Amino acid sequence: MDTKVSIQIIAKETTPLGRLFFQCCLQALLDSDWPNEIIIVDNGCSADVLSMVDGFHQEFALQGTHLRVEPLLGNVTYSDLRNFGMSLISPDTTIYHWVDTDEVYFPEKLNQLRKTLEKYEGKLRQIYTYFYHFTFDPRTWQFKATKDNIFAYHKGLHWTKGVHEHVDGLLPGQKVQTDVEYLHFGYLRPQWQTTLKWLHYDMLEFKNVDRYKDERLEDQDKKVYTEPYFREWRTPNTILDDRREECAKQGPWPRERVPAAAAPVYAQADRWDEFLRETEDYTLWDRWQELCLAADGWRDTLDEIVRIMEACNWSYNGTKKENHDNPGDATAPAARGDG
């Protein structure tokens, strides 16, 4: 079986931390012999992030991997982005693999995958991998789970749904669980940035953020009532704190189980909160807290935060970028620097 692998990455990184995760992601793929091509769909990365990506072109070319970056800007759905990327795939592709910018693979696992696939020639439907989900810092992991992110490719594949997208048109054949593994770093960002991501998801899916205004609950008599979603311990910057107990049960991630590509992230593990403060622009978070003090709680800030984020195309630091297709007039705070 002549395996031709096309990796697709949807990228919208605008901060130094996002740049770091993305760099580690690409380095892990470079350390493997898995991809024949990598297609990056740029949905509004900062100039600094795009410059970092550009630095990988020659290195990938030297090992026979074609790396290309194509823009699709604006507030489009993830299915739109993935279908656009799929339209760019080389016609001789046999395997389609989607990767996120905050995922760092174990290269040696990817290197073994081609041999594993030899026995499934013409009989493969999709491939499952394992990921380790990290929360709070690079030593704190919450769970291990499987993900169906590699598929036998043909032109009939098509993505549907806005956020939690689903691929339709899969070929008949076997579903294969492999031992391919990666580390997922998406929840190592400041928690208020995770809240922004979730608000963005709901705007794409439902055109509102009402789920984060009020939460439906039941009392002991099964009577339904509502409470503000952000209350007591839960704020936009503590939204993940209910996961701490589950994470504590896992114990720290072992140093020897860190891919070389992830070393720059892991090097900051002992001082992660301090590192975030040094790396990320917290001006938007400061503004958000001021809005809360002037309003009647976090609930009454959400519509204004959505307006600010729509004006900057959901850039995590709340600032407009020249390479974004942004509507409206932003009133977001100024950034300390690009990217």
| 242 lies in some domain | no
| 197 lies in some domain | yes
Same domain, 158 and 201: no
Same domain, 169 and 196: no
| 63 lies in some domain | yes
Check whether 117 has a pLDDT greater than 90: no
The DSSP bridge pattern shows strands 124-135 and 141-152 to be: antiparallel
At 60-87, the pLDDT tens digits run 999 999 999 999 988 788 999 999 999 9
| 275 lies in some domain | no
Same domain, 52 and 171: yes
Same domain, 25 and 171: yes
Residue 140: exposure state from Cβ atoms within 10 A (0-12, 13-18, ≥19): buried
Domain limits at 20?
Answer: 5-187
What value does the mean pLDDT of the chain take?
Answer: 91
Average pLDDT over residues 87-115: 95
Same domain, 11 and 146: yes
| CA 71 from centre of chain | 17
| 125 lies in some domain | yes
| 12 lies in some domain | yes
Q: Which of 152, 187, 222 delimits the end of a domain?
A: 187
At 283-325, the pLDDT tens digits run 999 999 999 999 989 999 999 999 999 999 898 877 775 544 4
Same domain, 66 and 148: yes
Report the share of the chain in percent with pLDDT over 70.
94
How sure is the predictor about 41, in pLDDT bands with cuts at 50, 70 and 90? very high
Which pair of structure tokens corresponds to residue 279? 């790396």
Same domain, 13 and 125: yes
Phi, psi of 8 (to 5 degrees): -120, 135
Same domain, 34 and 61: yes
At 176-213, the pLDDT tens digits run 999 999 999 999 999 999 999 999 999 999 999 999 99
At 139-159, the pLDDT tens digits run 999 999 999 999 999 999 998
The total domain count for the chain is: 2
Same domain, 212 and 64: no
Q: What ranges in the chain are assigned the alpha helix state H? A: 16-30, 47-54, 57-62, 78-86, 107-117, 191-206, 244-250, 263-266, 272-279, 283-294, 302-311
How sure is the predictor about 2, in pLDDT bands with cuts at 50, 70 and 90? confident
Taking the C-alpha atoms of residue 219 and residue 70, their distance in angstroms, rounded to an integer, is: 51
Q: Which of 164, 187, 210 delimits the end of a domain?
A: 187
Same domain, 50 and 175: yes
| 26 lies in some domain | yes
Output the domain CATH number for residue 150: 3.90.550.10
| 317 lies in some domain | yes
Same domain, 57 and 77: yes
Same domain, 173 and 286: no
